[in-house]
Amino acid sequence: MAEVREETPPPPYVAKAHPAGRRLIWLIVVLALLGTLLGLLALGLQPRTSVTLQGKPAPPFAITAINGEFAGQKFSLADLRGHIVVLNIWASWCVECAREATVLEQAWRAYRPRGVWFIGVDYLDTDTAGLAYLKRFDITYPNGPDIGSRIYQAYRATGVPETFFIDRDGIVQHVQIGPIGQTQLDALLDRLLTQGRSQP
């Protein structure tokens, strides 16, 4: 009896159903999918707000000014290297932007002789509305549209207004979320101006 039982071969499907090679392939596929999913999750959970740029090199930007004496001129961060740059992202429909518009213009007029450049980036605005805003607040520093919203995205802005203070070496030293006041603006610019000038 026992002999007969030993001679009976197992059904073929038992041997073929889960071969080691195929199981390994499935394992690799599942692990790869899980890895991709976790990677994407980690990427999504990373903080990507503008404040994370503080202490880091400012992303490059370029705008074509539409206002005043600078109309038609192109400005880029590379061209302004060696200068302190105040990059202000604004929009005509933004109520908080209007609160700081005069403060920024006054600071531009006061600090321009000391080599500080103010650059305005008009975000999600029509040209007509943007120009009307600039005229209303008599803004004379170079302002241009954010074509394709690229500057807004590169600077990880979370809304308007946001102002980035970039030192002479192109490092973001401060990010101001929301409107800025005269006292704070002056203090920031004075601090940046007293910082040692880097070697060219």
Partner 1 sequence: MFGVLRVALRCLAFSSLWVVLALAWDAPGMFAQTPSPDEINRVAKMLSCPTCAGINVADCPTETCAQWRAKIGELLAEGKTDQEILEYFAARYGDHVLQVPPTRGFFLGVWIVPIIAILAGLGTFGYLAHRWTKRPTAIESPAVPSDAVEDEYVKRVEQELQSWQK
DSSP-assigned beta bridge partners for residue 134 = none
Query: Both tokens of residue 166?
Result: 């970039």
Is 113 a binder of partner 1 (CB under 8 A)?
no
Residue numbers 154-193 binding partner 1 by CB under 8 A: none
Which C-beta is closer to partner 1: that of 22 or that of 191?
A: 22
In angstroms, how far apart are the furthest CA atoms of the chain?
108
Instruction: Give the Å distances, CA to CA, from 4 to 8, 10, 14, 32.
Output: 7, 13, 20, 47
Query: Both tokens of residue 147?
Result: 């074509």
Is 153 a binder of partner 1 (CB under 8 A)?
yes
φ/ψ of residue 43, rounded to 5: -65, -40
Q: Parallel, antiparallel, or unpaired for β 62-64 and 172-177?
A: unpaired
Q: Spell out, one character per residue from 13 to 32, where the chain touches partner 1: x when CB under 8 A holds, - when not.
A: x--xx---------------
Stretch that binds partner 1, among 64-72, 80-88, 125-133, 165-173 (CB under 8 A): 125-133
H runs (alpha helix) in the chain: 2-7, 12-16, 20-45, 95-111, 127-136, 150-154, 182-194
Stretch that binds partner 1, among 7-15, 41-49, 76-84, 136-144 (CB under 8 A): 7-15
Is 137 a binder of partner 1 (CB under 8 A)?
no
Count, residues near partner 1 per rule CB under 8 A: 23
Stretch that binds partner 1, among 44-52, 76-84, 122-130, 181-189 (CB under 8 A): 122-130
Which C-beta is closer to partner 1: that of 30 or that of 187?
A: 30
